[in-house]
Amino acid sequence: MEMTAKDLAAALGGTVEGNPEAKFSSFGKIEHGKAGQLSFFANPKYEHFVYTSKASVLLVNADFQPKEPVEPTLVRVPNAYDGMAKLMKLVAAKEQKCRRHRGRCRIAWSAKLGRSVWVGDFVTIGKNCRIGDCTRIYDNVTIGAGTTIGKNCIIYPGVHIFPGMVIGDRVILHAGCIIGDDGFGNVKLPDGSWEKIEHLGNVVIGNDVEIGSNTTVDRAQMESTIIEDGVRIDNLCQIAHNVVVGKNTAMAALTGVAGSARLGEGCTIAGLVGVVGHIKVADNSTIGAHSLIIGNIRKPGETWYGNPAILHKDYLKAYAKFKQSANED
């Protein structure tokens, strides 16, 4: 990839300040950008790096007014952070278009693949699967019989999708994630042994969802485990059977959500959070890192923290008293 400042401005609807022919072929963080790279500046606390950067081109907000001379060519856009995200998506899409072949794979005769579907080596696609247009399936992916995958999805290497799953459009499944494994359901018998409960439901994933590497979303015992539109789930998370994750909720790494819990829309869940089963979390809730939610959160828009979690403002009061008591001792 090689672009000029002029090309970048045209792609993002921006303006150039400096040499319009300045070229870059890679990306670099503003604190150590170098010649031939593009950096971006969006956070005011990094402004001092603007004046020391050696990057060839610097993407900045349209209203940025430098206080000192700037060496890189500036490309001004309404929002530098959004502009950088759009550019990286354009570059990724261009690179993928250069790699359209079908490798050594096993595709059932009854499976139907849309236009421009890319399939890597050692992929297995089961009977009666439906794969939408322009979806990319990388090496060593297994897609079980009867699964439906929408358009413009990206299925990275090593993903395992069990039979009968439903996946929407523009979904990204990162390497090694598992969609539709059995839930953890067992009944304790009188003799102390455990009897497995079969899980016969599926997983339904909406549009524009991204699920991180080595995350597992279990199939429902009955009906569906549901991941609604726009959800973002980080690496190494566990979504148990019959959970519902509401639209546009974001969940950081190592979070576990137990069976039949319902997370509302627009929630922000930090890393290492636990949510017990059969509870409801209201829309737009924020859960701090390492917290454990053991009961319903009924009021939307609140922030909870602690183990077990309480309202953040109450946690801060309690922690202040704890510190005071510890100092007195």
Q: Long-range CB contacts (< 8 A, 24+ apart) of 152-158? A: 156/213, 157/120
Q: What is the mean pLDDT of residues 225-246?
A: 98
Q: What is the pTM of this model?
A: 0.81
Predicted confidence (pLDDT) per residue in 131-165, tens digit: 999 999 999 999 999 999 999 999 999 999 999 99
Give the length of the chain. 329
Predicted confidence (pLDDT) per residue in 78-104, tens digit: 999 999 988 888 877 665 554 445 558
For residue 88, the tally of other CB atoms under 10 A from its CB is 12
50: left (phi over 0), alpha (psi -120 to 50) or beta: alpha
Q: CA–CA separation, 206 vs 168, rounded Å?
A: 5
Decide: helix, strand or coil at residue 95: helix
Q: CA–CA separation, 325 vs 90, rounded Å?
A: 56
Q: What does DSSP assign to residue 290?
A: T
Q: CA–CA separation, 75 vs 6, rounded Å?
A: 8
Q: Which domains does the chain have, with CATH numbers?
A: 3-97 (3.40.1390.10), 106-316 (2.160.10.10)
Q: What is the mean pLDDT of residues 269-296?
A: 98
Q: How confident is the model at residue 326 (pLDDT cuts 50, 70, 90)?
A: confident
Cis check: omega of the bond before 308, within 30 degrees of 0: yes
Q: CA–CA separation, 70 vs 100, rounded Å?
A: 42
| Six-digit token string for 82 | 């959004």
Q: In terms of Cα–Cα distance, which of 93, 86, 88 is closest to 13?
A: 86
Residue 223, phi then psi, degrees to nearest 5:
65, -130
pLDDT of 323 reads 84
Q: How confident is the model at residue 1 (pLDDT cuts 50, 70, 90)?
A: confident
Q: What is the mean pLDDT of residues 287-291?
A: 97
Q: Catalytic residue at 101?
A: no
- Given 241, 278, 290, 312, which residue is catalytic? 241
